[in-house]
Amino acid sequence: MHPEAFLSCKEGMELLQSKPYQESVQSIIVDEGSLYFRMVRTSTQHLGKEQYYPLDAEAIPENRLFAQFHSPQTNAMKNQILTELSSPLSKLRVVFATVALGMGIDIPCIRHVIHVGPPHTIREYFQETGRAGRDRKQSTAVLYYNKRDIAMSRPGISDSICEYCKLEDSCLRMFLLGCLDVHDVMKDNPHVCCSYCKMQCKCSECTT
Ligand SMILES: [Zn+2]
Ligand SMILES: [Zn+2]
């Protein structure tokens, strides 16, 4: 589901508010500026009081389920988000972020990175998705794109990221690593490798 739709619907909100999610999931959305502001506004308008946890909590930023992280914010605000993300007690579950939520930060328990539109290159994509799973636990990266995102007329877009977006007949992980000149890779469990490998998986969960 598109992240914007997810944050706007009842099921999405119930999931964010649920105990297992509160205890185990933290996510980051890496995104480009304009769309990101629209998403935050949509979430805030749709959610009203439900954007705070627990439901009867005071409407202050510390109780909000999501935050926004972008370059015009003060360093104090950014540091607050980084501290929250690192804390197991944090209520924060989704961060709408531009690439300002940068490299060099090492937050161990980020479980998902969702891109709304691809970055320009495979190397950027690899670095940005690499912010998830620093604790070596299974994590996911999801990339949403449309035809305009991968049009050759888009300034700076590389052939390989376009190829990656359109890849449907082989392992996405192998393709990414191949672009980075890593070829000697152990085949992972297909169930958790990538969307292509999952389709080939023959485990009981996938075949029933
Ligand atoms: Zn794969
Ligand atoms: Zn499977």
3-class SS letters over the chain: CCHHHHHHCHHHHHHHHCHHHHHHCCEEEEECHHHHHHHHHHHHHHHHHHHECCCCCCCCHHHECEEEECCCCCHHHHHHHHHHHHCCCCCCCEEEECCCCCCCCCCCCCCEEEEECCCCCHHHHHHHHCCCCCCCCCCEEEEECCCCCCCCCCCCCCHHHHHHHHCCCCCHHHHHHHHCCCCCCCCCCHHHHCHHHHHHCCCHHHHC
pLDDT(61) > 90: no
Burial (CB count <10 Å: 0-12, 13-18, 19+), residue 144: middle
**Ligand 1 centre distance from Cα of residue 175 (Å):** 9
Model-level pTM?
0.81
Q: Residue 164's pLDDT is what?
A: 96
191 Cβ contact partners less than 8 Å away, ≥ 6 residues apart = 197, 198, 201, 203, 205, 206
Integer CA distances (angstroms), 2 to 115, 117, 153, 160, in order:
10, 11, 25, 24
**Ligand 2 centre distance from Cα of residue 186 (Å):** 18
Q: Residue 159's pLDDT is what?
A: 94
**Ligand 2 centre distance from Cα of residue 177 (Å):** 22
Q: Share the mean pLDDT of the chain.
A: 83
* 30, β-bridge pairs: 97, 115
Domain boundaries, the chain: 3-166
Q: Residue 109's pLDDT is what?
A: 82
Q: Residue 122's pLDDT is what?
A: 95
What CATH number has the domain spanning 3-166?
3.40.50.300
Average pLDDT over residues 97-114: 80
**Ligand 1 centre distance from Cα of residue 26 (Å):** 24
pLDDT(84) > 60: yes
**Ligand 2 centre distance from Cα of residue 208 (Å):** 10
**Ligand 1 centre distance from Cα of residue 46 (Å):** 36
Q: What is the pLDDT of residues 161-207, one digit of tens each?
A: 999 999 999 999 999 999 999 988 877 789 999 999 999 999 999 98
The rounded radius of gyration (Å) of the Cα atoms in the chain is 18
**Ligand 2 centre distance from Cα of residue 205 (Å):** 5
Pick the ligand that lies closest to the CA of residue 171.
1
Pick the ligand that lies closest to the CA of residue 207.
2
Q: What is the pLDDT of residues 131-158, one digit of tens each?
A: 888 888 999 999 988 888 888 778 889 9
Q: What is the pLDDT of residues 3-42, one digit of tens each?
A: 556 666 676 677 667 776 666 656 666 666 666 667 777 7
**Ligand 2 centre distance from Cα of residue 138 (Å):** 14
Token couple for 84: 């929250």
